[in-house]
Amino acid sequence: MAGAGGGGCPAGGNDLQWCFSQVKGAVDEDVAEADVISTVEFSHSGDLLATGDKGGRVVIFQREQENKSRPHSRGEYNVYSTFQSHEPEFDYLKSLEIEEKINKIRWLPQQGAARFLLSTNDKTIKLWKISERDKRAEGYNLKDEDGRLRDPLRITALRVPILKPMDLMVEASPRRVFANAHTYHINSISVNSDHETYLSADDLRINLWHLEITDRSFNIVDIKPANMEELTEVITAAEFHPHQCNVLVYSSSKGTIRLCDMRSSALCDRHSKFFEEPEDPSSRSFFSEIISSVSDVKFSHSGRYMMTRDYLSVKVWDLNMESRPVETHQVHEYLRSKLCSLYENDCIFDKFECCWNGSDRMVERVQYFKL
């Protein structure tokens, strides 16, 4: 894992100079397929970084306290907790293997000492509680110090247990399992601003869940045609608005983004706004539809803008202007001449994510490194 120090390395003026601040793991050895990171997610405070891998594990890194002798240092991230989130499964009804690979991780807003996060593979979403324990109780009445039960007939005095300090132990415990709601692979989860519900999206449907209810969900978007031969697009990403709990957006493989208002109807089969950039006919090619597919969509923290990521660009949209983006940033421009080769080795179908920085002034994205 390599990180860019949260906000980059300080440089002169208001510019940021990005650099590697930390590398985890051996970079000169062959990496097992199960150890390949499939998703990462910072907590809302930025103090914790959760990573999921193809082996179904979640590793949480915690940022150390800033060093007073290095005021510009943001502190390194060290391992805080590791646990197995998902295991490989087999659907005997469909004769289908379900991978343990973690597709997405989302933190819930912290409301107490413990922290909660959602993790999902292709089919099952789990809610995990991450808690710390640095004290243990001693002086039980019904059992000895080694844990063996005592004979009640030999207990002659009442003892009050006391708490004694112990080495810090971080526990990850499953609290909810949300399953059996998706026919296709889950590609997105997003926690609502009401802190009570969240959405999960697959290729053709978006479901709404309550965090306390695991045995049912509500289907709010369904683009599956009556005849699957008429299928022309699939859902690629979905997210709730950061402040309006009734608003969500989802992107498609056609490069379009639809904004839906759940107040209009129980099934959001009609969008409130439709965002699409007109295509330049002179630049159309065999690969146009593939590279225009939106792989990620993110609202800004203010909720005024949203950012979308396709194969070669990052676009910033104003929610009040549907006709075209207000900004377009080219990312992989040097690959435009290599699309044929990328198509042959399937790299053209790679998915990339994007995100806003804390002040909404900069966009950050995942990309290839040119060597």
For residue 343, what is the enclosing H or E element?
A: helix 339-344
60 phi and psi angles, rounded to 5 deg:
-110, 125
The answer to whether 238 and 182 are in contact (CB under 8 A) is no
The answer to whether 78 and 64 are in contact (CB under 8 A) is yes
Side-chain-side CA neighbours of residue 41 (13 Å): 22
For 236, the domain range is 181-370
Classify residue 14: in a domain, yes or no. no
Q: Tokens standing for 84?
A: 């197995």
Give the number of other CB atoms < 10 A from CB of residue 295.
Answer: 20
Going from the C-alpha of 345 to that of each of 24, 78, 342, 350, the distances in angstroms are 29, 36, 5, 11
Average pLDDT, the chain: 86
Over the stretch 324-367, which tens digit does the pLDDT of each residue have? 999 998 888 888 888 999 999 988 898 888 888 777 776 665 55
Classify residue 319: in a domain, yes or no. yes
Classify residue 85: in a domain, yes or no. no
Classify residue 243: in a domain, yes or no. yes
The answer to whether 129 and 118 are in contact (CB under 8 A) is no
Q: Torsion over CA of 330, 336, 338 and 341, rounded to 10 degrees?
A: 90
Digitized pLDDT (tens) for each residue of the chain, 371 residues in all: 444 333 444 444 456 666 667 777 666 667 788 888 999 999 998 899 999 999 999 999 998 876 655 555 567 889 999 999 999 988 887 788 899 999 999 999 988 889 999 999 999 999 999 998 888 777 777 777 777 887 888 777 887 888 888 888 899 999 999 999 999 999 999 999 999 999 999 999 999 999 999 999 999 999 999 999 999 999 999 999 999 999 999 999 999 999 999 998 888 888 999 999 988 787 788 888 999 999 999 999 999 999 999 999 999 999 999 999 999 988 888 888 889 999 999 888 988 888 887 777 766 655 554 43
Distance CA 247, CA 262 (A): 6
The answer to whether 315 and 324 are in contact (CB under 8 A) is no
Over the stretch 192-238, which tens digit does the pLDDT of each residue have? 999 999 999 999 999 999 999 999 999 999 999 999 999 999 999 99
Residue 158: partners with Cβ closer than 8 Å, 6 or more residues away = 141
% of the chain beyond a pLDDT of 90? 54
85 phi and psi angles, rounded to 5 deg:
-90, -45
**Could you tell me the sign of the dihedral formed by the alpha carbons of 316, 206, 186, 103, in that order?**
positive
For residue 288, what is the enclosing H or E element?
A: helix 288-291
Domain count, the chain: 1
Classify residue 269: in a domain, yes or no. yes
Classify residue 366: in a domain, yes or no. yes
Question: What does the angle CA 311 – CA 316 – CA 321 come to, to the nearest 5 degrees?
Answer: 125
The DSSP-derived string for 177-238 is: EE-S--SS---EEEE-TTSSEEEEE-SSEEEEEETT--S--EEEEE---SSGGG----EEEE
Domain harbouring 344, CATH code: 2.130.10.10
The whole-model pTM stands at: 0.83
The answer to whether 351 and 296 are in contact (CB under 8 A) is yes
